[in-house]
């Protein structure tokens, strides 16, 4: 199995290219506004992109998805509660930076909606959608049960959690999501976050400084 992290763009956001083996189909989790970096990995491993799963609507996770969709014909999936972010990338950039940094920001013409509990079949994998609001209203994690692997986006990091101090963030919701949708997983579960190195559920259960907040 291939799981290749591609840190990209100004926020060093992790995109993940996931495939059973080289020469087959792949899925991508999150697509920063640097689609050529993801494309280079697909070419290197002779992979055909089957779909792009977006953990949430922030531009550093979505900005390259339109270009990938147009170049490959792949479907893009995102939770509809984040449409107010996903569909207005330039508004986000102006609010965050007061300007438009270089990069690709076009969203795909059509997106598929995610629902909590869905099982998405892509590239030979079955990924469970876990809706984890708090960082954003539509934030989702993707659980690959067969591999005990969680793509956590900006929900959970090695030694930290996602921010909830935005206008639309909700700390209480984030901690409920952590308790009910994330920390129910086994300690051995690998956590592949949207920023920084991977960790495990057991490591964060024991040492994360916010662990008392989610009980």
User: What are the pLDDT digits (tens) for 101-152?
Assistant: 555 567 788 899 999 999 999 999 999 999 999 999 999 999 999 999 999 9
CA 54 to chain centre: 5
CB 141 within 8 A of CB 149: no
Taking all residues of the chain, what is their mean pLDDT, rounded to a whole number? 94
CA–CA separation, 63 and 186 (whole Å)? 32
Close Cβ partners of 68 (under 8 Å, ≥ 6 residues apart): 28, 31, 35, 38, 39, 49, 52, 74, 76
pLDDT band at 200 (very low <50, low <70, confident <90, very high): very high
Count other C-beta atoms under 10 Å from residue 40's C-beta.
Answer: 13
Give the tokens for residue 37: 């970096």
Give the model's pLDDT for residue 88. Answer: 81
Name the CATH superfamily for 2-207.
Ribonuclease Z/Hydroxyacylglutathione hydrolase-like (3.60.15.10)
Mean pLDDT of 47-64: 96
Domain ranges of the chain: 2-207
């Amino acid at each position: 199995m291939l799981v290749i992290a591609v840190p990209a763009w100004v926020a060093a956001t992790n995109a993940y290219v996931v495939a059973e083996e080289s020469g087959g189909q792949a899925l991508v989790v999150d697509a920063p506004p640097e689609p050529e970096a993801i494309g280079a990995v697909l070419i290197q491993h002779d992979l055909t992109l089957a779909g792009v799963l977006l953990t949430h609507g922030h531009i550093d996770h979505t900005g390259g998805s339109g270009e990938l969709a147009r170049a490959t014909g792949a479907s893009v999936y995102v939770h509809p509660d984040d449409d107010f972010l996903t569909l207005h990338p330039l508004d986000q950039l102006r609010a965050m930076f007061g300007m438009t940094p270089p990069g690709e920001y076009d969203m795909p013409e059509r997106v598929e909606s995610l629902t909590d509990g869905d099982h998405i079949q892509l590239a030979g994998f079955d990924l469970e959608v876990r809706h984890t609001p708090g960082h954003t209203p539509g934030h989702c994690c993707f659980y690959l049960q067969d591999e005990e692997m969680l793509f956590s986006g900006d929900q959970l990091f090695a030694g930290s959690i996602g921010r909830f101090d935005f206008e639309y963030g909700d700390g209480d919701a984030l901690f409920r999501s952590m308790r009910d949708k994330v920390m129910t997983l086994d300690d051995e579960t690998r956590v592949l976050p949207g920023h920084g190195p991977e960790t495990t559920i057991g490591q964060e259960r024991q040492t994360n400084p916010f662990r008392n907040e989610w009980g």
